[in-house]
Structure 1
Amino acid sequence: MLKYFKNIYVIIFIVFAVWMIFIDSNSLIIHKELNDDIKDLENEKAYYKNEIEKDKKAIKELSTDEGVEKLAREKYYMKKDNEDIYIIEYEDSLKLRNKDE
């Protein structure tokens, strides 16, 4: 085995391989990190495209008077002057209170 390490070509190949894998600015380790960053950015891009689609649907819904009225009634509990609103909360939607209270 020692005779292989005496060959100049084997030594040059080993030095070159170590250089390319660990030391060089374009090493395999840096390429792996950059590929991981690319995957993360692509996932983030897909997430934001999905959010844009949701926002477009919300804008389209709020562009009508019925959509604005529905949002005002459901989210902000607004009402017309001549009506009463009753909010019904189910037992599973209430937060559990401490036994001391």
Structure 2
Amino acid sequence: MRIYVGNLPYSVADDDLRDIFGEYGELAAAEVIKDKFSGQSKGFGFVEMPNNAEAAAAIKALNETDMKGRKLTVNEARPRAERPRGGGGGRY
């Protein structure tokens, strides 16, 4: 299961997510999303857990918990919405 982790403190790194979620089971991946130009955290990330029961337990335990003064939002990740491409502005 892919898990969305939002409202992360900007100082949190991939290893921090691995440490926190690793307490609930096996992880396939853990990534804090960063700005591609500055390298600064965008304040959210994703964790991949192969066992759905462990993932559900992690979501239940960690949602709305405090991390360095910020209340985390933890839930099952939803597929990214399709966004229009281009920007032709209606010109032909």
The structure where strand makes up a greater share of residues is 2
The structure where helix makes up a greater share of residues is 1
Q: How would you bin the TM-score normalised by the shorter chain?
A: under 0.3
Kindly name which structure, 1 or 2, has the bigger radius of gyration based on alpha carbons.
1
Give TM-score, length-normalised by structure 1.
0.21
Structure number with the bigger relative contact order (C-alpha 8 A, sep ≥ 6) is 2
Give TM-score, length-normalised by structure 2.
0.22
